[in-house]
């Protein structure tokens, strides 16, 4: 979404993770996605690095306005606290130590904190969308999609559900989810 919002021209290559292309592994031996190869030869293989690089090119919607340190703190919370529980909840078969409900309850601690933020303000870092919202909502979407009926019935997550709906309907998200999307723009960022 940040690349699209910044109007960065690029070639998008879909990768089947079970059959990673040699060219991708040459660029990033980690073998994870996303990978962004810059014209300078630099390779970015972390979503957060790509997000900040794209918005440094052009931040048309002011997503960096709250300040990188605030955005980074929420991304860190997601990566270090929420994402491990999300992965265990989503892929609970590989984590038989506890039930899916246990993993869900652990992930809910973070979601409840984010819901409290969203009760106080329309977005995670204030009255306007930020890069933190853009970075975190895909993980909330993953969580919700594990058991959508359960997620939709949770009264104590109303603000979070409203926020997630906003992002799922956001024109930039709708555009980037189109498999026919081509990132090319007539104007420079």
For the chain, 189 residues long, give each residue's pLDDT as a single digit of tens.
999 999 988 887 888 888 888 888 988 898 888 899 998 989 999 999 999 999 999 999 999 998 999 999 999 999 999 999 999 999 999 999 999 999 999 999 999 999 999 999 999 999 999 999 999 999 999 999 999 999 999 889 999 999 999 999 999 999 888 866 555 444 433
- Tell me the C-alpha distance between 126 and 62, whole Å: 12
Cis ω on the peptide bond leading into residue 34 (within 30° of 0)?
yes
Number of folded domains in the chain?
A: 2
Q: Within this chain, do residues 98 and 116 fall inside the same structural domain, yes or no?
A: yes
Q: Within this chain, do residues 111 and 167 fall inside the same structural domain, yes or no?
A: yes
- Tell me the C-alpha distance between 172 and 137, whole Å: 13
Determine if the pTM surpasses 0.95. no
Q: Within this chain, do residues 28 and 106 fall inside the same structural domain, yes or no?
A: no
Q: What is the CATH number of the domain that holds 131?
A: 1.20.1050.10
Domain presence at residue 177 = no
Mind giving me the DSSP string for 131-172? HHHHHHHHHHHHHHHHSHHHHHT-GGGHHHHHHHHHHHT-HH
- Tell me the C-alpha distance between 55 and 67, whole Å: 12
Q: Quote the domain boundaries for residue 8.
A: 2-60
Domain presence at residue 80 = yes
For residue 78, what is the DSSP state?
I
């Amino acid at each position: 979404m940040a690349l699209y919002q910044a109007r960065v021209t690029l070639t998008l290559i879909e990768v089947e993770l079970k059959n990673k292309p040699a060219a991708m592994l040459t660029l990033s031996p980690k073998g994870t996605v996303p990978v962004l190869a810059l014209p300078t030869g630099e390779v970015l293989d972390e979503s957060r690095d790509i997000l900040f690089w794209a918005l440094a090119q052009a931040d048309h919607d002011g997503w960096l306005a709250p300040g990188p340190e605030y955005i980074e703190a929420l991304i860190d919370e997601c990566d270090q606290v929420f994402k491990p529980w999300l992965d265990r909840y989503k892929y609970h078969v590989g984590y038989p130590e506890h039930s899916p409900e246990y993993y869900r309850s652990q992930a809910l601690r973070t979601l409840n904190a984010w819901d409290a933020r969203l009760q106080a303000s329309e977005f995670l870092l204030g009255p306007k969308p930020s890069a933190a919202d853009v970075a975190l909502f895909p993980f909330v979407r993953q969580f919700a999609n594990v058991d959508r009926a359960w997620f939709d019935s949770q009264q104590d997550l109303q603000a979070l559900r409203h926020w997630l709906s906003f992002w799922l309907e956001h024109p930039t998200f709708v555009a980037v989810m189109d498999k026919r999307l081509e990132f090319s723009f007539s104007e420079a960022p």
